[in-house]
């Protein structure tokens, strides 16, 4: 009977909080975290921006407030202000369209992380699944040019989504059958896509452009497969209907999780796979399904980007893209809820777009540093999301300090 | 005990949002006294002791130590006043030696900075000799048994010159033999002039060790009584607030057709060793069959093989006439098996799910809960409301998270889920582990009721008392084989002997 004290504690660890006793600190923090809802992610974001601003101040001696203002205007969110001038409004509209294009993709890649997360899986492979979706969609949409528009679009999107599903599903199958950890396998699958794209679209590759022999890029998609642009110019990357597909995906996400037996199983497995197994739920099946559905979302992002505004896929598009990785931040900050994912996708979309060299006023902030600022804020948000217990702690300490200050004079 | 009390708590009140954890509690402790604090989980025992140990500040009331009114603001204050606490979960550093752990934070120093290990060792040896501890000061803590680790904790308190010792559920982690060993030590400590507060919810050990017993219920002190004249039944009534049946009342069984048949079952464990060997038995409608055995003799593997959680190597499992050998758990459940698993936190419940969701964990895939994969949460909630009432689950409604319920109520949720599907066979593994008296009584009564409904009940338990008071037939499992079968009137001694392999060949009927 030589047991470690740690092992002793394990079976009794989450002792419930019967009336009369006090919940442990961890339990209380968990409660705040759950009840925190909007508050904690909000504080997290504000903190990240605050520290980002400090760095701007210290390193570049620029005024952080005007920098943020420039980023805000660069993102086009000033379009919502009624008082801006007409010419500003035109620029703002253009910028906002770009922001929402990014938001569209980020909603999908955020969902790809969130759905797996609800099943207890960490899908790091959104990037690869996004890439597979884009590759398959561009191959389909640039072939069979005689097909008529709508069926061709549907076919491209469906096959792109399936490619993403397959790519993530592979990791799911490996997890379900041999227990290979999904973090490892999805990262490996990312690299396969990375080089697969180089093979396909690289100079002399089998799917390289037939018109531009010296550019590592695919053929263009058939013109009639372009998604309809409902706001802005179709030539200048206006906002296409993929945005609504993303919103629909958010709704579908909520419905699947909360109103279907599939979602019930996924959540049960995510919270406690052992209890699910004891109740007769197949954990392996749900691991596979959750990954496949996650991959579908990421694949949709790739396909819709191709048909919405990219119209072709270059090796650089696959190798240089970070849309799948930002999806991790989107899901984490959005706490895997539909509404949360929408707002955090909007935030990151605005950040990325607002700091792009094209949009940021160079007199305010050096454009070559701008995208680093995005990365920094992204990193800080991730750091704070990971440390949200710390944020809660600080929040509570603040209250304690206030209390102390208030009661001090009476002593 | 004619001296003035060493410790007096007067009118201690501690409120938390929504509850009064301690409501004007008075408590005194005499010199050389063992004063037991008895109460169910959540009665306020731990809160009171945390107030005494300086972890909480009381909202009202006074603490007097040796006649002097004191304010205990932190455990450090408590230690300075001679109060020592041995927590339920030990606060030891596994990789350090016994002596190092004991002197930690107040260690003798050499040249101001270096640990004077020899001095530490010497003092630990002195203490051990004074109080009759047998312990090697150089042993690393992680090589000690649980019982020995507890002694290290007690020594730690003694080293800090505690003369008032608080023991928080000290026997919860001990085997019966280790518990007896602890009691020996406590008797020595008392003889040496220490005073002990002994927190427990086990009646027999309180009657064994305490001089006086204070019973708490829902934050209030119900009564303080001397051990002389106290009975288990009387204490149980004070604790729970009503009469408690410590002995399960039941009619003799009227077994009918066999509903669970296990034939020549062989099962391997994770290490690919044969854990269940040629086990055959059946359980008939209307009887409770108990499987007794020391932990780790193949019980878990047997349960897993019956429920489809693990594949049997060979043999047969038949539930209500359907062969479910090596079937998926879902098929076994559909064949008519209800399973109350061993660990409600790990296996019985999804703690982050609501009660409604937990109650539907096996029903969600069938109408009326769902149709064609579409879930109807309102129906889940409606049924949960009925079951919560029927099974008297307290502390929450259908939308409450399971984690926020007390252990007894959580177990009621598990039982409600398994029983309401009207299973033919009910398999209960350690169904009362960690529950307090009231909840144990409920579970036991319910199992007997289910038997009387005509279900076949298979009870696997490590608690001999439980096996003896519930079973109509008792099977003894030893090293993966059924080595003996007894009727309900077998003596505890005989059963204990069989559990350690004492009867191997002859007894199998």
Q: Is the pLDDT of residue B508 over 60?
A: no
Predicted local confidence at residue A394, as pLDDT: 66
Question: What are the tens digits of pLDDT across the range A109-118?
Answer: 999 999 999 9
A261:B370 CB<8 A: yes
Q: Per-residue confidence at A9, pLDDT binned at 50, 70, 90?
A: very low
Q: Least CB-CB distance to B341: which of A14, A268, A278?
A: A278
Q: Per-residue confidence at B173, pLDDT binned at 50, 70, 90?
A: low
Note whether A226 and A297 are same-domain residues: yes
Note whether A361 and A234 are same-domain residues: no
B258-348+424-499, superfamily in CATH? P-loop containing nucleotide triphosphate hydrolases (3.40.50.300)
Q: Is the pLDDT of residue A18 over 60?
A: no
Partners of residue A19 in chain B, C-beta under 8 Å: 19, 42, 218, 395, 406
B101 touches chain A (CB under 8 A): no
Note whether A369 and A260 are same-domain residues: no
Query: Of B146, B380, B417, which to mutate for an interface test with A (greatest number of A Cβ within 10 Å)?
Result: B146
User: What pairing do the DSSP bridges indicate for beta strands B19-29 and B7-16?
Assistant: antiparallel
Note whether A194 and A122 are same-domain residues: yes
Q: Per-residue confidence at B132, pLDDT binned at 50, 70, 90?
A: confident
Q: Is the pLDDT of residue A285 over 50?
A: yes
Q: What secondary structure, in 3-state letters, does B456-478 show?
A: EEEEEECCHHHHHHHCCEEEEEE
| CA dist., res. B472 & res. B126, Å (int) | 54
Tell whether A7 is covered by a domain: no
Distance of CA B463 to CAs A160, B233, B433, Å?
59, 20, 9
For the beta sheet containing B19-29, the strands, ordered from the edge strand earlier in sequence to the opposite edge, are B19-29, B7-16, B60-65, B68-70
Q: Is the pLDDT of residue B507 over 50?
A: no
For B172-181, B403-412, B442-451, which range has the lowest pLDDT when averaged over its residues? B172-181
Partners of residue B353 in chain A, C-beta under 8 Å: 267-268, 271
Question: What are the tens digits of pLDDT across the range B45-62?
Answer: 888 998 999 888 899 999
Predicted local confidence at residue B116, as pLDDT: 81
For A316-330, A371-385, B481-495, which range has the lowest pLDDT when averaged over its residues? A371-385
Percentage of chain A exceeding pLDDT 90: 54
Q: Per-residue confidence at A48, pLDDT binned at 50, 70, 90?
A: confident
Q: Least CB-CB distance to A8: which of B173, B357, B362?
A: B173
Predicted local confidence at residue B371, as pLDDT: 93
Q: Is the pLDDT of residue B2 over 60?
A: no
Residues of chain A by 3-state class (helix, strand, coil), percent to 5: 70, 0, 25
User: What pairing do the DSSP bridges indicate for beta strands B473-478 and B481-486?
Assistant: antiparallel
Q: Per-residue confidence at A398, pLDDT binned at 50, 70, 90?
A: low
CA atoms within 13 A on the CB side of A201: 26
User: What are the structure tokens assigned to A109, written together?
Assistant: 């890649």
- Name residues 4-63 of chain A within 8 A of B (Cβ): 4-6, 8-9, 11-22
Note whether A315 and A374 are same-domain residues: no
Average pLDDT along chain A: 84
What average pLDDT score do residues A331-347 get?
A: 91
B345:A4 CB<8 A: no
Predicted local confidence at residue B103, as pLDDT: 85
Measure in Å the smallest separation between the Cα of A163 and chain B Cα atoms.
25
B42:A280 CB<8 A: no
- The contacts found for B266-273 with CB under 8 angstroms, 24 or more apart, are B266/B312, B266/B313, B266/B314, B266/B315, B267/B298, B267/B301, B267/B302, B267/B304, B267/B305, B267/B310, B267/B312, B267/B313, B267/B480, B268/B301, B268/B313, B269/B301
Phi first, then psi, for residue B339 (nearest 5°) are: -130, 115
Residues 6+ apart with CB under 8 A from A326: A106, A109, A348, A352, A378
Partners of residue A267 in chain B, C-beta under 8 Å: 353
Q: Per-residue confidence at A333, pLDDT binned at 50, 70, 90?
A: confident
A259:B56 CB<8 A: no
User: What are the structure tokens assigned to A57, written together?
Assistant: 């101040």
Range of the domain at A58: 37-75+341-389
Q: Is the pLDDT of residue B76 over 90?
A: no
| CA dist., res. B198 & res. B178, Å (int) | 16
Partners of residue A12 in chain B, C-beta under 8 Å: 89, 434
Q: Least CB-CB distance to B89: which of A3, A5, A276?
A: A5
A268:B146 CB<8 A: no
Neighbour count for residue A13 (Cβ, 10 Å): 11
Q: Is the pLDDT of residue A304 over 80?
A: yes
| CA dist., res. A272 & res. B220, Å (int) | 37
Note whether A266 and A345 are same-domain residues: no
Note whether A110 and A218 are same-domain residues: yes
Q: Least CB-CB distance to B404: which of A2, A16, A260?
A: A16
Residue B267: closest CA among B332, B299, B311, B323: B311
Q: Per-residue confidence at A25, pLDDT binned at 50, 70, 90?
A: very low
For A48-62, A373-387, B136-150, B321-335, which range has the lowest pLDDT when averaged over its residues? A373-387
Cα torsion angle, A352, A354, A356, A362, sign: negative
Measure in Å the smallest separation between the Cα of B481 and chain A Cα atoms.
23
Q: Least CB-CB distance to B41: which of A18, A261, A263?
A: A18
The span from the first CA to the last CA of chain A, in angstroms, equals: 54
ipTM comes to 0.80
User: What are the structure tokens assigned to A43, written together?
Assistant: 């504080």
User: What are the structure tokens assigned to A363, written together?
Assistant: 């007199």
Q: Is the pLDDT of residue A339 over 70?
A: yes
For A267, which residue in chain B has the nearest alpha carbon? Answer: B353
Predicted local confidence at residue A5, as pLDDT: 36
| CA dist., res. A76 & res. A272, Å (int) | 43
Residue A338: closest CA among A125, A127, A118, A168: A118
Predicted local confidence at residue A12, as pLDDT: 30
Residues 6+ apart with CB under 8 A from A30: none
Q: Least CB-CB distance to B90: which of A5, A22, A259?
A: A5
Note whether A58 and A191 are same-domain residues: no
Predicted local confidence at residue A24, as pLDDT: 46
- Name residues 292-321 of chain B within 8 A of A (Cβ): 307-309
Note whether A354 and A315 are same-domain residues: no
Q: Per-residue confidence at A57, pLDDT binned at 50, 70, 90?
A: confident
Note whether A242 and A156 are same-domain residues: yes
For A126-130, A378-382, B295-299, B317-321, which range has the lowest pLDDT when averaged over its residues? A378-382
Q: Is the pLDDT of residue A14 over 50?
A: no
What average pLDDT score do residues B363-384 get?
A: 93
Q: Per-residue confidence at A335, pLDDT binned at 50, 70, 90?
A: confident
Residues 6+ apart with CB under 8 A from B328: A280, A282, B308
| CA dist., res. A175 & res. B68, Å (int) | 64
Note whether A55 and A119 are same-domain residues: no
Predicted local confidence at residue A386, as pLDDT: 66
Tell whether A23 is covered by a domain: no
A368 touches chain B (CB under 8 A): no
Distance of CA A163 to CAs A118, A193, A301, B124, B397, Å?
22, 11, 12, 68, 44
User: What are the structure tokens assigned to B368, written together?
Assistant: 């009326």
User: What are the structure tokens assigned to B334, written together?
Assistant: 């559909």
Stated as kind and residue range, the H or E segment containing A48 is helix A39-55
Measure in Å the smallest separation between the Cα of B303 and chain A Cα atoms.
11
Q: Which residues pair with B318 in a beta bridge?
A: B261, B323
Predicted local confidence at residue A35, as pLDDT: 47
Number of domains in chain A: 2
A179 touches chain B (CB under 8 A): no
Q: Is B89 in a helix, a strand, or coil?
A: coil
Question: What are the tens digits of pLDDT across the range B410-466?
Answer: 999 999 999 999 999 999 999 988 787 788 889 999 999 999 999 999 999 887 888
The larger pLDDT score, comparing residue A366 to residue B356, is at: B356
Residues 6+ apart with CB under 8 A from B129: none
The most confident of the ranges A363-372, A384-393, B491-500 is: B491-500
Q: Per-residue confidence at A20, pLDDT binned at 50, 70, 90?
A: very low
Total number of residues shown for chain A: 411
CATH class as words, domain B7-240: alpha beta
Tell whether A301 is covered by a domain: yes
Neighbour count for residue B225 (Cβ, 10 Å): 17
Q: Is the pLDDT of residue A255 over 80?
A: yes
Note whether A347 and A287 are same-domain residues: no
B191 touches chain A (CB under 8 A): no
Q: Is B131 in a helix, a strand, or coil?
A: helix
Residues 6+ apart with CB under 8 A from A380: A47, A48, A51, A52
A83 touches chain B (CB under 8 A): no
Predicted local confidence at residue A34, as pLDDT: 52
B332:A280 CB<8 A: yes
| CA dist., res. A329 & res. A348, Å (int) | 9
| CA dist., res. B289 & res. B206, Å (int) | 31
């Amino acid at each position: 009977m030589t047991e470690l004290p740690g092992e002793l504690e394990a079976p009794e660890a989450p002792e419930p909080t019967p009336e009369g006793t006090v919940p442990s600190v961890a339990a209380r923090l968990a409660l705040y975290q759950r009840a925190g809802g909007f508050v904690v992610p909000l504080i997290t974001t504000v903190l990240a921006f605050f520290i980002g601003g400090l760095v701007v101040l210290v390193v570049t001696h620029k005024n952080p407030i005007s920098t943020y203002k420039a980023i805000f205007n660069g993102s086009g969110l000033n379009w919502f202000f009624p008082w801006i001038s007409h010419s500003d409004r035109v620029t703002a509209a253009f910028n906002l369209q770009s922001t929402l294009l990014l938001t569209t993709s980020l909603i999908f890649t955020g969902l790809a992380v969130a759905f797996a997360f609800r099943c207890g899986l960490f899908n790091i492979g959104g990037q690869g699944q996004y890439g597979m979706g884009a590759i398959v969609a561009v191959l389909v949409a640039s072939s069979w040019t005689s097909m008529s528009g709508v069926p061709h679009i549907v076919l491209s999107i469906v096959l792109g989504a399936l490619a993403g599903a397959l790519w993530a599903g592979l990791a799911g199958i490996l997890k379900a059958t041999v227990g290979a950890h999904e973090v490892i396998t999805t990262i490996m699958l990312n690299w396969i896509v990375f080089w697969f794209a180089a093979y396909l679209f690289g100079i002399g590759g089998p799917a390289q452009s037939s018109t531009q022999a010296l550019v590592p890029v695919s053929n263009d998609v058939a013109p009639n497969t372009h998604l309809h642009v409902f706001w802005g110019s179709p030539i200048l990357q206006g906002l296409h209907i993929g945005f609504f597909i993303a919103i629909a995906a958010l709704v579908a996400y909520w419905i699947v999780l909360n109103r279907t037996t599939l979602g019930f199983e996924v959540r049960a497995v995510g919270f406690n796979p052992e209890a699910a197994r004891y109740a007769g739920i197949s954990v392996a099946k749900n691991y596979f399904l959750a990954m496949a559905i996650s991959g579908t979302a990421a694949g949709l992002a790739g396909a819709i980007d191709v048909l919405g505004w990219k119209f072709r896929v270059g090796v650089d598009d696959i190798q240089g893209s970070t849309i799948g990785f930002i999806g991790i931040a989107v899901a984490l900050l959005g706490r895997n809820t539909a509404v949360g994912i929408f707002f955090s996708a909007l935030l990151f979309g605005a950040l990325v777009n607002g700091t792009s060299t094209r949009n940021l006023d160079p007199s305010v902030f050096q454009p070559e540093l701008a995208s680093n600022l995005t990365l920094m804020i992204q990193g800080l948000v991730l750091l704070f999301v990971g440390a949200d217990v710390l944020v809660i702690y600080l929040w509570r300490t603040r209250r304690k300090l206030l209390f102390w200050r208030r009661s001090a004079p009476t002593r | 005990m004619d001296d003035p009390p060493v410790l007096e708590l007067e009118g201690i009140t501690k409120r938390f949002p929504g509850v009064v954890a301690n409501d004007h509690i008075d408590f005194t402790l005499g010199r050389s006294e063992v004063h037991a604090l008895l109460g169910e989980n959540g009665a306020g025992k731990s809160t009171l002791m945390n107030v005494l140990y300086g972890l909480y500040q009381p909202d009202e009331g006074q603490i007097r130590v040796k006649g002097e009114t004191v304010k205990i603001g932190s455990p450090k204050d408590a230690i300075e006043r001679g109060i020592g606490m041995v927590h339920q979960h030990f606060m030891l550093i596994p990789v350090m030696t016994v002596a190092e752990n004991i002197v930690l934070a107040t260690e003798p120093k050499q040249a101001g900075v270096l640990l004077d290990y020899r001095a530490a060792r010497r003092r630990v040896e002195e203490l051990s000799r004074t109080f009759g501890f047998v312990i090697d000061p150089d042993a690393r803590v992680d090589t000690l048994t649980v019982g020995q680790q507890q002694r290290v904790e007690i020594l730690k308190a003694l080293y800090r010159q505690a003369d008032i010792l608080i023991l928080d559920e000290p026997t919860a982690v001990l085997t019966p033999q280790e518990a007896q060993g602890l009691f020996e030590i406590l008797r020595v400590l008392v003889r040496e002039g220490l005073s002990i507060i002994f927190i427990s919810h086990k009646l027999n050990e309180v009657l064994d060790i305490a001089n006086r017993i204070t019973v708490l219920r829902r934050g209030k002190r119900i009564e303080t009584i001397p051990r002389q004249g106290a009975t288990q039944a009387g204490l149980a009534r004070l604790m729970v607030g009503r009469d408690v049946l410590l002995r399960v009342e039941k009619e003799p069984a009227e077994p009918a057709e066999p509903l669970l048949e296990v034939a020549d079952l062989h099962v391997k464990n994770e290490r690919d060793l044969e854990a269940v060997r040629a086990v055959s038995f059946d359980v008939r409608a209307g009887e409770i069959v108990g499987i007794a055995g020391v932990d780790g003799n193949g019980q878990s593997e047997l349960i897993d093989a019956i429920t489809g959680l693990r594949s049997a190597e060979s043999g047969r499992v038949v539930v209500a006439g359907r062969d479910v050998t090596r079937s998926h758990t879902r098929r076994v459940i559909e064949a008519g098996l209800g399973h109350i698993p061993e660990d409600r936190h790990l296996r019985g419940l999804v703690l982050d799910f609501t009660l409604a969701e937990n109650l539907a964990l096996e029903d969600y895939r069938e109408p009326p809960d769902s149709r064609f994969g579409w879930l109807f949460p309102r129906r889940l909630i409606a049924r949960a409301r009925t079951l919560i009432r029927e099974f008297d689950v307290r502390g929450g409604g259908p939308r409450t998270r399971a984690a926020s319920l007390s252990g007894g109520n959580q177990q009621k949720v598990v039982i409600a889920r398994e029983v309401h599907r009207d299973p033919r066979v009910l398999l209960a593994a350690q169904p009362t582990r960690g529950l307090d008296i009231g909840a144990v009584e409920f579970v036991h009564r319910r199992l007997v009721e289910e038997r009387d409904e005509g279900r076949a009940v298979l009870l696997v338990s490590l608690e001999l008392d439980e096996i003896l008071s519930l079973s109509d037939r008792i099977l003894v499992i030893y090293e993966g084989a059924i080595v003996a079968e007894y009727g309900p009137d077998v003596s505890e001694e005989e059963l204990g002997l069989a559990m350690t392999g004492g009867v191997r060949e002859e007894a199998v009927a």
